[in-house]
Structure 1
Amino acid sequence: MTADLPEYYFRIRENGAAVFRVDTQNRQRRIEMEQIAVLNMRNGEIKPQGGRVLSDADKRAIADWMNTRKTVLTARDSDQINRTVDHLNLTAQWAQSRATPEQLETITDALLLAMHDLRSVLVRKKADRHTSHRD
Structure 2
Amino acid sequence: MPTLPDYYFRVRENGAFVFRVDTENRQRRIDMDQIAVVNIRNGEIKPHGNRTLSDTDLAEIRAWMAERTALLARRDLDDIHRTIDHMNLTAQWAQSRASDDQLEDITDALLLAMHDLRSVLVRKKADRLEKSEKAARKDQA
Normalised-by-shorter TM-score class: over 0.9
What is aligned with 1:122? 121
Q: Measure how far apart 1:70 and its partner are.
A: 1.2
What is aligned with 1:25? 24
Amino acid at match of 1:82: H
In 1, Cα distance between equivalents of 2:106 and 2:122: 24
Question: What CA deviation, in whole Å up to 9, does each residue of 1:26-58 have, x standing for no partner?
Answer: 111110101100000000000000110000000
Identical columns (%): 69
Q: Measure how far apart 1:71 and its partner are.
A: 1.3
Gaps of 5+ in 2: 135-141
Q: Measure how far apart 1:104 and its partner are.
A: 0.7
Aligned residue-pair number? 134
In 1, Cα distance between equivalents of 2:7 and 2:20: 5
Q: Measure how far apart 1:82 and its partner are.
A: 0.5
In 1, Cα distance between equivalents of 2:108 and 2:15: 36
Within the alignment, does 1:54 sit opposite 2:21 as a pair? Answer: no
Question: 1:1-135, aligned counterparts within 5 Å?
Answer: 1=1, 4-135=3-134
Moved >2 Å (runs of 4+):
none
Amino acid at match of 1:53: T
3-state SS, counterpart of residue 66 of structure 1: helix
Q: Which moved more, 1:103-112 or 1:117-126?
A: 103-112
Q: Measure how far apart 1:77 and its partner are.
A: 1.1
Q: Which moved more, 1:71-80 or 1:86-95?
A: 71-80
In 2, Cα distance between equivalents of 1:131 and 1:50: 49
Gaps of 5+ in 1: none
Q: TM-score scaled to structure 1, two decimals?
A: 0.97
3-state SS, counterpart of residue 53 of structure 1: coil
Q: Measure how far apart 1:109 and its partner are.
A: 0.8
User: Cα RMSD over matched residues?
Assistant: 0.8
